[in-house]
Protein backbone atom coordinates (compact mmCIF):
# COMPACT_ATOMS: atom_id res chain seq x y z
CA UNK A 1 0.00 0.00 0.00
CA UNK A 2 2.56 2.44 -1.17
CA UNK A 3 1.43 6.02 -1.85
CA UNK A 4 -1.20 6.16 0.95
CA UNK A 5 0.17 9.49 2.17
CA UNK A 6 0.60 10.83 -1.34
CA UNK A 7 -2.09 12.04 -3.70
CA UNK A 8 0.20 11.34 -6.64
CA UNK A 9 -1.06 8.72 -9.08
CA UNK A 10 1.70 6.67 -10.68
CA UNK A 11 1.60 5.89 -14.40
CA UNK A 12 -0.84 3.20 -15.54
CA UNK A 13 1.84 1.14 -17.25
CA UNK A 14 1.80 -2.01 -15.07
CA UNK A 15 -1.54 -2.78 -13.41
CA UNK A 16 -2.66 -5.80 -11.39
CA UNK A 17 -6.39 -6.36 -10.88
CA UNK A 18 -7.61 -8.70 -8.16
CA UNK A 19 -10.90 -10.26 -9.25
CA UNK A 20 -12.50 -10.60 -5.84
CA UNK A 21 -16.09 -10.06 -6.83
CA UNK A 22 -18.45 -10.25 -9.75
CA UNK A 23 -16.72 -10.80 -13.08
CA UNK A 24 -19.10 -8.34 -14.74
CA UNK A 25 -17.42 -5.46 -12.88
CA UNK A 26 -14.06 -6.17 -14.51
CA UNK A 27 -15.68 -6.75 -17.89
CA UNK A 28 -17.10 -3.24 -17.61
CA UNK A 29 -13.85 -1.68 -16.30
CA UNK A 30 -11.27 -3.19 -18.65
CA UNK A 31 -12.41 -1.66 -21.98
CA UNK A 32 -12.28 1.81 -20.45
CA UNK A 33 -8.80 1.25 -19.05
CA UNK A 34 -7.52 -0.05 -22.39
CA UNK A 35 -9.09 2.90 -24.20
CA UNK A 36 -7.78 5.58 -21.83
CA UNK A 37 -4.25 4.29 -21.22
CA UNK A 38 -3.49 2.78 -24.60
CA UNK A 39 -1.35 -0.09 -25.73
CA UNK A 40 1.53 0.59 -23.36
CA UNK A 41 -0.55 -0.56 -20.36
CA UNK A 42 0.01 -4.12 -19.14
CA UNK A 43 -2.84 -5.58 -17.05
CA UNK A 44 -2.29 -8.70 -14.94
CA UNK A 45 -5.22 -10.50 -13.36
CA UNK A 46 -5.38 -12.41 -10.06
CA UNK A 47 -8.44 -14.63 -10.02
CA UNK A 48 -10.03 -17.78 -8.65
CA UNK A 49 -12.41 -18.13 -11.61
CA UNK A 50 -11.91 -20.34 -14.65
CA UNK A 51 -11.35 -18.43 -17.86
CA UNK A 52 -10.81 -14.70 -18.16
CA UNK A 53 -13.08 -11.67 -18.53
CA UNK A 54 -14.20 -11.11 -22.12
CA UNK A 55 -12.40 -7.77 -22.35
CA UNK A 56 -9.08 -9.09 -20.97
CA UNK A 57 -6.31 -8.99 -23.58
CA UNK A 58 -4.09 -12.00 -22.92
CA UNK A 59 -1.28 -10.62 -25.09
CA UNK A 60 -1.03 -7.54 -22.82
CA UNK A 61 -1.07 -9.26 -19.45
CA UNK A 62 -0.85 -12.46 -17.48
CA UNK A 63 -3.43 -14.39 -15.45
CA UNK A 64 -2.51 -15.57 -11.96
CA UNK A 65 -4.95 -18.24 -10.74
CA UNK A 66 -4.65 -18.71 -7.00
CA UNK A 67 -5.77 -22.33 -7.34
CA UNK A 68 -2.57 -23.09 -9.24
CA UNK A 69 -0.28 -22.04 -6.38
CA UNK A 70 0.74 -24.05 -3.33
CA UNK A 71 1.26 -21.06 -1.06
CA UNK A 72 0.53 -17.37 -0.74
CA UNK A 73 4.23 -16.62 -0.77
CA UNK A 74 4.58 -17.95 -4.32
CA UNK A 75 1.77 -15.71 -5.58
CA UNK A 76 3.22 -12.66 -3.84
CA UNK A 77 6.72 -13.42 -5.15
CA UNK A 78 5.48 -13.79 -8.74
CA UNK A 79 3.41 -10.60 -8.53
CA UNK A 80 6.23 -8.57 -6.95
CA UNK A 81 8.54 -9.68 -9.75
CA UNK A 82 6.19 -7.98 -12.24
CA UNK A 83 6.65 -4.63 -10.38
CA UNK A 84 3.14 -3.21 -10.72
CA UNK A 85 2.62 0.52 -10.28
CA UNK A 86 -1.17 0.18 -9.73
CA UNK A 87 -3.12 -2.42 -7.75
CA UNK A 88 -6.88 -2.60 -8.00
CA UNK A 89 -9.43 -4.87 -6.42
CA UNK A 90 -13.17 -5.34 -6.28
CA UNK A 91 -14.87 -4.63 -2.97
CA UNK A 92 -18.47 -5.51 -3.81
CA UNK A 93 -19.83 -7.00 -0.60
CA UNK A 94 -19.36 -10.54 -1.93
CA UNK A 95 -17.29 -13.04 0.06
CA UNK A 96 -14.99 -13.91 -2.84
CA UNK A 97 -11.23 -13.98 -2.13
CA UNK A 98 -11.66 -11.58 0.78
CA UNK A 99 -8.51 -12.64 2.63
CA UNK A 100 -6.54 -12.81 -0.59
CA UNK A 101 -7.41 -9.29 -1.75
CA UNK A 102 -6.48 -7.66 1.55
CA UNK A 103 -3.30 -9.70 1.89
CA UNK A 104 -2.24 -8.75 -1.64
CA UNK A 105 -3.21 -5.11 -1.10
CA UNK A 106 -0.94 -5.00 1.95
CA UNK A 107 1.97 -6.84 0.36
CA UNK A 108 2.09 -5.43 -3.17
CA UNK A 109 3.76 -2.12 -3.86
CA UNK A 110 1.36 -0.49 -6.31
CA UNK A 111 -0.98 2.37 -5.47
CA UNK A 112 -4.31 0.85 -4.54
CA UNK A 113 -7.72 1.62 -5.96
CA UNK A 114 -10.97 0.02 -4.82
CA UNK A 115 -13.77 -0.81 -7.27
CA UNK A 116 -17.21 -1.09 -5.68
CA UNK A 117 -20.35 -2.92 -6.84
CA UNK A 118 -21.63 0.17 -8.68
CA UNK A 119 -18.57 0.24 -10.94
CA UNK A 120 -17.22 3.33 -9.15
CA UNK A 121 -13.67 3.37 -7.93
CA UNK A 122 -11.63 5.51 -5.58
CA UNK A 123 -7.99 5.66 -4.59
CA UNK A 124 -6.85 4.32 -1.25
CA UNK A 125 -5.01 7.44 -0.05
CA UNK A 126 -5.31 10.18 2.53
CA UNK A 127 -7.22 12.45 0.15
CA UNK A 128 -10.06 9.90 0.19
CA UNK A 129 -9.90 9.21 3.92
CA UNK A 130 -13.51 10.36 4.45
CA UNK A 131 -14.71 8.12 1.63
CA UNK A 132 -12.76 5.18 3.08
CA UNK A 133 -14.26 5.69 6.54
CA UNK A 134 -17.80 5.97 5.16
CA UNK A 135 -17.22 2.89 2.97
CA UNK A 136 -15.97 0.85 5.95
CA UNK A 137 -18.81 2.02 8.20
CA UNK A 138 -21.35 1.18 5.51
CA UNK A 139 -19.89 -2.32 5.04
CA UNK A 140 -20.04 -2.90 8.82
CA UNK A 141 -23.66 -1.75 8.98
CA UNK A 142 -22.78 1.36 10.97
CA UNK A 143 -23.99 3.91 8.42
CA UNK A 144 -27.50 4.77 7.36
CA UNK A 145 -30.75 3.52 8.85
CA UNK A 146 -29.30 0.22 10.06
CA UNK A 147 -26.70 1.89 12.26
CA UNK A 148 -28.97 2.24 15.30
CA UNK A 149 -29.94 -1.43 15.18
CA UNK A 150 -26.34 -2.57 14.74
CA UNK A 151 -25.10 -0.44 17.64
CA UNK A 152 -28.01 -1.70 19.77
CA UNK A 153 -27.05 -5.31 19.02
CA UNK A 154 -23.41 -4.61 19.89
CA UNK A 155 -24.39 -3.05 23.23
CA UNK A 156 -26.94 -5.76 24.04
CA UNK A 157 -24.59 -8.67 23.31
CA UNK A 158 -22.64 -8.60 26.63
CA UNK A 159 -25.88 -8.35 28.64
CA UNK A 160 -27.36 -11.31 26.75
CA UNK A 161 -24.19 -13.34 27.21
CA UNK A 162 -24.07 -12.69 30.96
CA UNK A 163 -27.76 -13.60 31.31
CA UNK A 164 -27.31 -16.89 29.41
CA UNK A 165 -24.20 -17.83 31.39
CA UNK A 166 -25.95 -17.05 34.67
CA UNK A 167 -29.00 -19.10 33.65
CA UNK A 168 -26.81 -22.07 32.67
CA UNK A 169 -24.90 -21.78 35.96
CA UNK A 170 -28.13 -21.78 38.01
CA UNK A 171 -29.56 -24.77 36.13
CA UNK A 172 -26.35 -26.78 36.61
CA UNK A 173 -26.11 -25.80 40.29
CA UNK A 174 -29.71 -26.96 40.91
CA UNK A 175 -29.01 -30.23 39.11
CA UNK A 176 -25.89 -30.81 41.22
CA UNK A 177 -27.78 -29.94 44.45
CA UNK A 178 -30.45 -32.58 43.65
CA UNK A 179 -27.89 -35.27 43.00
Tell me the whole-structure pTM to 2 decimals: 0.74
Are 103 and 1 within 8 A, CB to CB? no
**Digits of tens for pLDDT over the chain (179 positions)?**
556 666 777 888 899 999 988 888 888 889 988 998 888 899 999 999 988 888 899 889 999 999 999 988 999 999 999 999 999 988 887 888 888 888 998 899 889 998 888 878 888 888 888 888 888 888 777 887 778 888 888 999 999 999 999 999 999 999 999 98
Q: Which of 116, 125, 69 is nearest to 93 (CA)?
A: 116
Amino acid sequence: MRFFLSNRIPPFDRVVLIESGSRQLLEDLLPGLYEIYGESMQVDLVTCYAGTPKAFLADRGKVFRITEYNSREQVVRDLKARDHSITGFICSDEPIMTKWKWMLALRLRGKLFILNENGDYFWFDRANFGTLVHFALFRMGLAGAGAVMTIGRILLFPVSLIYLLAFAGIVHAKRKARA
